A and B are shown apart, each in its own frame.
Chain A
Amino acid sequence: MDSSPHDHGADGTGGAPPAAHRSEVTLSVNGKPHTLLIDHRRVLLDLLREDLDLTGAKKGCDHGQCGACTVLVDGRRVNSCLQLAVSLDGREVLTVEGLADGDRLHPLQRAFLDRDAFQCGYCTPGQLCSAVGVLAEAAAGHPSHVTGPAAPPGRPVALDAAEIRERLSGNLCRCGAYPHIVEAVRDVAP
């Protein structure tokens, strides 16, 4: 047997009748803890926008195809339109609203302004959260499709334009602001 014995059961809904369609979930959003009774069908994107009034994350496609809904969960970027809120018990969510430190913009937000990296701005919150994730992934040595085979595993990956384009390919921009987005991320990349 490849699993621990039946000594679990302290947390979660493990004991609740499966017929129940709602569960209590505790998660933190931009540093603030929330305990909510959540309809199992609620996805994180709708929870943020409809229940918590955080409308930064955008609904572009609702099917994982555009990246406009990108947020960070436990520091990793994900598409919030495909994350069931009930599955995030105990997790920490960071949205575009939580990137700035008071009035001090996140370096990526500053760079997007400096580089004029948007037109309508609809994709921008997703691009920013995705870029935060990209910087962390590259620093942790995560390769991408364009990383050469010679790059040593586990060492930080340098982010040139090709790396940034590939790593941000999950974020579409209908306005075609891509060249400036790549420049903005390059400005901040080490």
Chain B
Amino acid sequence: MKPFGYLRAATVEEAARALAEHPDARCLGGGTNLVDLMKLGVERPGLLVEVNRLPLDTVEELPDGSLRVGATVRNSDLAAHPLVRDRYPALSQALLAGASGQLRNAATTGGNLLQRTRCPYFQDVSKPCNKRTPGSGCGARVGTHRDHAVLGHSDHCIATHPSDMAVALAALDARVELHGTEGARSVPAAEFHRLPGDHPERDTEIRPGELVTGVVLPAATASLPSAYRKARDRASYAFALASVAAVLNLSDEGTVARVGLAFGALAHRPWRATRAEEALRGGPATPDAFAHAVDLELRAARPLRDNGYKVELARGLALDVLTRLAGPTRT
């Protein structure tokens, strides 16, 4: 590992300034991804800016009923938070379906969003990878890509984003709050991560010198049904092969009043299923309608040689989750 400087930032401004002044600086949250990648030589920062002591470690309800989650709130604490379990069950479930108890105790909201892909070529500095070394080629396209993308990939990169939490945030219409030397801004969680296009080295819309300060969940009541379901190679402690987060609210007549649907592990970002949502809005909440809408969305899939199974898997998960949300939990 390359030697590096260390700054325990005391204010958001100090952290942003250090990031802006040192292009090779990285934020250190729980370290569960960054330290791993530094050991592998994938990340070689000259300076670590520790964000854990910033006053960003609380979950607070805002006057308009929305919920603000600080960037350094630990994944385990967020999953256990009574308001999150009550009003945003998909978020709690997504967090608890990820990693292990030990990792969730360390992992932060900001770090979870900014974690890098688990593509094995990205993690191996002896292999070609356009995300790690632009222009070197994509080892996975011709090699092993069973876990890779079926939607929105490019010639340059077929990686997926590994976060479970981010999928729930996308379906729940959350926003990501950012802070840089130019000031603060926020972007929808569903648009925070990018598609790879010609620049797979850029995972997200974050600008140089910016840090994530928090995530805001729109106002919701305990009766807004949402759920997360994940398929993986073993029952626990494994990344998703495909996953689904959904929010579904029905009108008194039983039609779809509000729907949010997002897929995980299918693309370079959480895949917000806007076509399916459009098809469902105002219509019946029946298994047939769900199947029609989900098929409409997944028609855009372009599976690779070895990952066609993901389309069928994601379809099954989505139909299961939507049907369950439309069923007995209806209010």
Residues of A in contact with B (beta carbons under 8 Å apart): 1-6, 8-9, 12-14, 16-21, 23, 39-41, 43, 62-64, 67, 70, 76-79, 82-84, 86-87, 89, 130, 133-134, 137, 140-145, 147, 149, 153-154, 165-171
- Decide: A83 and B54 in contact? CB cutoff 8 A: no
Q: What's the dominant secondary structure at chain A's contact region?
A: loop
0/1 interface trace, chain B 104-123, chain A, CB 8 Å (1 if under): 01100000000000000000
- Decide: A41 and B5 in contact? CB cutoff 8 A: no
- Decide: A82 and B36 in contact? CB cutoff 8 A: yes
What are 15 pairs between A and B in contact, CB < 8 Å? A2-B179, A9-B10, A18-B7, A18-B18, A63-B39, A70-B102, A76-B76, A82-B30, A82-B36, A133-B105, A143-B92, A145-B96, A149-B89, A169-B100, A169-B101
- Decide: A21 and B79 in contact? CB cutoff 8 A: no
Within 8 A of A (CB), among B5-44: 5-14, 18, 22, 25, 28, 30-32, 35-36, 38-39
Q: Which residues of chain A are near B82, meaning CB under 8 Å?
A: 153-154
Known: A84-B31, A145-B96, A153-B85. A77 touches B101 (CB 8 A): yes
- Decide: B55 and A3 in contact? CB cutoff 8 A: yes
- Decide: A63 and B80 in contact? CB cutoff 8 A: no
- Decide: B5 and A20 in contact? CB cutoff 8 A: yes
Q: Nearest A residue to B106 by beta-carbon distance?
A: A78
Q: Nearest B residue to A10 by beta-carbon distance?
A: B10
Q: Which residues of chain B are near A147, meaning CB under 8 Å?
A: 96
Whether a CB of chain A sits under 8 angstroms from the CB of B97 is yes
**Chain A interface: which of B45-53, B144-152, B189-197?**
B45-53
- Decide: A84 and B18 in contact? CB cutoff 8 A: no
User: For A1, A18, A63, which residue has the most chain B Cβ atoms within 10 angstroms?
Assistant: A18
Measured between alpha carbons, how far is A70 from B252 in the docked complex, in Å? Answer: 51
Q: How far is the CB of B164 from chain A (nearest CB, A)?
A: 11
- Decide: A87 and B54 in contact? CB cutoff 8 A: no
Measured between alpha carbons, how far is A13 from B48 in the docked complex, in Å? Answer: 12
Pick the 8 closest A-B CB pairs, nearest first.
A170-B100, A18-B5, A169-B236, A8-B10, A153-B82, A3-B12, A21-B3, A12-B8
Q: Which residues of chain B are near A133, meaning CB under 8 Å?
A: 101-102, 105
- Decide: B101 and A153 in contact? CB cutoff 8 A: no
- Bin chain B's interface residue count: 35 or more
Q: Nearest B residue to A170 by beta-carbon distance?
A: B100
Measured between alpha carbons, how far is A76 from B237 in the docked complex, in Å? Answer: 18
- Decide: B36 and A64 in contact? CB cutoff 8 A: yes
Whether a CB of chain A sits under 8 angstroms from the CB of B296 is no
Q: How far is the CB of A140 from chain B (nearest CB, A)?
A: 8
Within the complex, which residue of B18, B53, B85, B103 is in contact with A64, where a contact is CB–CB below 8 Å?
A: B103
Q: Which residues of chain A are near B3, meaning CB under 8 Å?
A: 21, 39-41
Within 8 A of A (CB), among B227-250: 235-237
Within 8 A of A (CB), among B146-185: 179, 184
- Decide: B85 and A170 in contact? CB cutoff 8 A: no
Whether a CB of chain A sits under 8 angstroms from the CB of B4 is yes
Within the complex, which residue of A3, A41, A154, A165 is in contact with B11, where a contact is CB–CB below 8 Å?
A: A3
Q: How far is the CB of A22 from chain B (nearest CB, A)?
A: 9
- Decide: B32 and A82 in contact? CB cutoff 8 A: yes
Whether a CB of chain A sits under 8 angstroms from the CB of B125 is no
Within the complex, which residue of A5, A83, A143, A145 is in contact with B106, where a contact is CB–CB below 8 Å?
A: A83
Whether a CB of chain A sits under 8 angstroms from the CB of B213 is yes
Whether a CB of chain A sits under 8 angstroms from the CB of B1 is yes
Measured between alpha carbons, how far is A190 from B128 in the docked complex, in Å? Answer: 52
Measured between alpha carbons, how far is A57 from B13 in the docked complex, in Å? Answer: 38
Q: Which residues of chain A are near B81, meaning CB under 8 Å?
A: 153
Q: Nearest B residue to A166 by beta-carbon distance?
A: B236
Measured between alpha carbons, how far is A82 from B46 in the docked complex, in Å? Answer: 18
Q: How far is the CB of B163 from chain A (nearest CB, A)?
A: 15
- Decide: B99 and A6 in contact? CB cutoff 8 A: no
Whether a CB of chain A sits under 8 angstroms from the CB of B295 is no
- Decide: A142 and B76 in contact? CB cutoff 8 A: yes
Q: Which residues of chain B are near A169, meaning CB under 8 Å?
A: 100-101, 235-237
Known: A13-B7, A141-B80, A145-B236. A43 touches B35 (CB 8 A): yes
- Decide: A2 and B213 in contact? CB cutoff 8 A: yes
Apart from the given pairs A2-B184, A84-B35, A169-B101, 6 other A-B contacts in the complex at a CB distance below 8 Å = A63-B36, A67-B100, A78-B105, A79-B106, A143-B85, A169-B100
Whether a CB of chain A sits under 8 angstroms from the CB of B297 is no
- Decide: B105 and A76 in contact? CB cutoff 8 A: yes
Measured between alpha carbons, how far is A12 from B7 in the docked complex, in Å? Answer: 9
Q: Which residues of chain A are near B11, meaning CB under 8 Å?
A: 3-6, 8
Measured between alpha carbons, how far is A173 from B55 in the docked complex, in Å? Answer: 38
Q: Nearest B residue to A172 by beta-carbon distance?
A: B237
Measured between alpha carbons, how far is A40 from B47 in the docked complex, in Å? Answer: 10
